[in-house]
Amino acid sequence: MRILFVCSGNICRSPMAEALFVHMARERGVQDRFTVDSAGTHGYHEGEPADPRTRRLGAKHGIDVTSIAREIRPSDFVDFDLILAMDRGHQRELNRRSPEAHRHKIRLMRSYDRKGVDPDVADPYYGGMEGFERMYDVLQRCCGHLLDALLERDATSGADLA
């Protein structure tokens, strides 16, 4: 299963989601079942590491956030099985760029959040660390439920990802 997490500049939300998912899969001993990456809808920060606040927060929780920012590529729509948008704006942009045959792969990250009512993972970039902490809490829940859903799907071979 190939999974791509997407936010705006690929320095806050999507790198944290990528790192969290990889960390959780490794803890469960299933990391070899997944190829995971992240990208941005825009290349604002192409080639840069994740925001220092994202990396600090990851380190605080024992998670390495090592991704380097990149913009989504046309080949990503073919190469990945599941593309998770951090908010509805990203989802619209991904649907706009995606060939119709691959749009079914695009989902909102919070569709895997059983607790939240907001469909968007809030962008913490312009705020303080409390926004990054809230982002982390949401992504931790979502990544856990996503991993559960994917493993359950594997166990029942072919069930839907939702």
Of 2, 70, 123, 153, catalytic: 123
Catalytic residue (choose from 12, 13, 37, 120): 13
Concerning whether 120 is annotated as a catalytic residue, the answer is no
- Radius of gyration of the CA atoms of the chain, in A: 14
**Residue 82 main-chain phi, psi, to 5 deg:** -145, 130
Indicate the residue type of 129: M
Question: Biggest alpha carbon distance in the chain?
Answer: 43
> Does the residue 54 lie in any domain?
yes
pLDDT by residue (tens digit) across 94-138?
A: 999 999 999 999 999 999 998 867 999 999 999 999 999 999 999
Residue 93 half-sphere exposure, CB side, CA atoms within 13 Å?
A: 18
The whole-number pLDDT of residue 162 equals: 46
CA torsion 143-111-136-133 (nearest 10°) is -160
Q: Which domain holds residue 109?
A: 2-155
d(CA 59, CA 97): 34
137 falls within a domain: yes
Q: Is residue 24 part of a domain?
A: yes
Q: Return the CATH number at 108.
A: 3.40.50.2300
Decide if 12 is catalytic: no
Q: Give a yes or no: residue 160 inside a domain.
A: no
98 inside domain: yes
Alpha-carbon distance of 47 to 92, in angstroms, equals 24
In a domain, 53, yes or no: yes
Structure-block tokens of residue 24: 């959780």
| Structural domains of the chain, count | 1
Q: What is the pLDDT of residue 158?
A: 55
Backbone torsions φ then ψ of 20, nearest 5 degrees: -60, -45
- 161 assigned to some structural domain: no
Residue 102: what pLDDT? 98
32 counts as catalytic: no
For the chain, which ranges sit under pLDDT 70? 116, 157-162
Give the integer Cα–Cα distance in Å for 33 and 44.
Answer: 31
CA–CA separation, 3 and 100 (whole Å): 18
Q: Is 81 exposed, middle or buried (0-12, 13-18, 19+ CB in 10 A)?
A: middle
Note whether residue 162 is domain-resident: no
